[in-house]
Amino acid sequence: MQMQLQRSSAAAIARSLQVLGPVAHRPTTRLCSSQAAEGPAATGPAGRWRSLRVIPLDGSAASLEASLRTLRELRPQQVMLETCAQRQDLALRRTAVEAEAAAEATESGGGDGSASPATSPLSHVDAIATVHGGLRGADVAALCKWAETADAQVYPIDRPYQETQNLVARRLLLRPRELLAFVRHSAALLTGGTGQAGVPSLSLGMRDVLEEEREQHMAAETAKRGVQGADLAIVCTSDRAAGLERHLLGVGAGSSATAVRGKASQAARIWPFLLVLVYVVVPIYAIVLVSWRVSRLIAAYLQGSFTLSQAPAPVVQEQSAASPGVTPQQSAAPVVQEQSAEQSAASPVAQRQ
C-alpha cells in the first residue's frame, strides 16, 4: 500500500513537471528601480526582453559610482542613455581633450592637470542637460567607457536637443509670460538656485514638451532598439525614471511615442530664429531707431535756437549806417552794373578767339 502511494505521488510530480517545464524555461522580465513592478511587465513592451533595469542618476559622483557598480553586477548587453547622439559626441570629445591636457600637464610637471567639478566651467552638454534634461557630459563619458570595456552596446535614446529647442521656441513665441518664467527657471537651474523661494515653475505646456514627450520618445527608442531576449539597462536622470517605467510597462507606449516623434520631426526648425528675432532683434532695432529720431529732434531744436540768437538785423543796420539814405536794393544795384560791364568787356575777347 505504501509502495502504491509513493508511485502515485511520483507520477503526479512528473505530470506537474511536464506541465510547468515550458513555463520554467521562458525568459522573465524584471524591472528593478525605485519602484519594482514585475507583475505587469509581461504585458507591456518590456515583455520582449529577458531583463530590464532602470538606473537613475542625480548628477553626483556617488550616484555615478553606484550606477557603475550596478552595471558591473548586472552586465547588460545593451545600455540605453538619456542623451542624444550629438551630446554624446560632444561629451566624448571634451573628455578626450581634458585627458590630453591632463597628460601634458603631468608630463610638464605642473601637477595632475585635472580640474575639480566645482571649478571647471559649465560645458555645452551640461548646459543643455540642465535646461532641457538629460545626463551630464562626464556621466555619459564614464558610462560609455565602461560599456566599451564590458563589450556592451550603448544607444542614445533621448530626443535630439535641436528638436527640443525648436519645440520650446515654438511654444514660447506667442506666450511672453511663459517665456519669462522659463528664462527665470533656466537661470535658477544654471546658477544652482532651484531651491530658492520665488523661482517660478514651468507651465503645464512646457512640462509636456520637456518631460512627457521626451519620456515617450525614450520609451519608443528603447522598444525600437532593444533586442528580443537581451538584458537591457536604462541609465537616466532620477526625474525621468518613474516616467520611463510607466511608459515601458504600458500597453500603448510605442504608438503614442511614435506619434509624438512624427509631430516633432514635421515641425520646421525656424522657431528659434523667430524667437530671437521677435524678442531680441526687433526690440533692439526699435530702441536704436527711436533714439536716433529723438537725437535728431533735439539737434534740430538746438540748432534752431542758435540761429534765432544770431539775428541778421545788426548787419543790415551796419550797411545802412555806412550809406545813409540808401536802401539795400539800391546798394546792390552798382554791384550788378559792374558785373554786366565786366561781361560786356569779356565778350569781344571771346569773339576774337
The tens-digit pLDDT sequence of the chain (353 residues) is 445 545 555 555 555 444 344 333 333 344 554 333 343 334 455 667 888 999 999 989 999 999 999 999 999 999 999 999 999 999 999 999 988 888 888 887 655 555 555 456 778 889 999 999 999 999 999 999 999 999 999 999 999 999 999 999 999 999 999 999 999 988 888 887 655 555 668 889 999 999 999 999 999 999 999 998 999 999 999 999 999 999 987 644 444 445 455 554 555 678 989 998 999 999 999 999 999 999 999 999 888 764 544 545 554 444 444 555 555 545 544 544 555 555 555 555 444 54
Structural domain includes residue 257: yes
Structural domain includes residue 96: yes
Q: Are 211 and 260 in contact (CB under 8 A)?
A: no
Structural domain includes residue 239: yes
Residue 38 three-state SS: coil
Domain that includes residue 245, residue range = 26-106+119-279
Closest CA to 160 of 211, 85, 220: 85
- The full length of the chain comes to 353
Dihedral, 312, 315, 319, 320 alpha carbons, nearest 10: 60
Q: What is the pTM of this model?
A: 0.68
DSSP of 8-35, one letter per residue?
HHHHHHHHHHHHHHHHHTSPP--EESSS
| Alpha helical stretches, state H, 28-160 | 61-74, 85-107, 124-132, 137-150
Structural domain includes residue 339: no
DSSP of 172-191, one letter per residue?
HTT-HHHHHHHHHHHHHHHH
Number of domains in the chain: 1
Task: Give φ, ψ of 148 to 5 degrees.
Answer: -70, -40
Using CA atoms, how far residue 291 sits from 129, 264, 287, 295, 302, in Å, is 40, 41, 6, 6, 16
Structural domain includes residue 226: yes
Closest CA to 248 of 226, 263, 279, 266: 226
Structural domain includes residue 322: no
Structural domain includes residue 341: no
Structural domain includes residue 184: yes
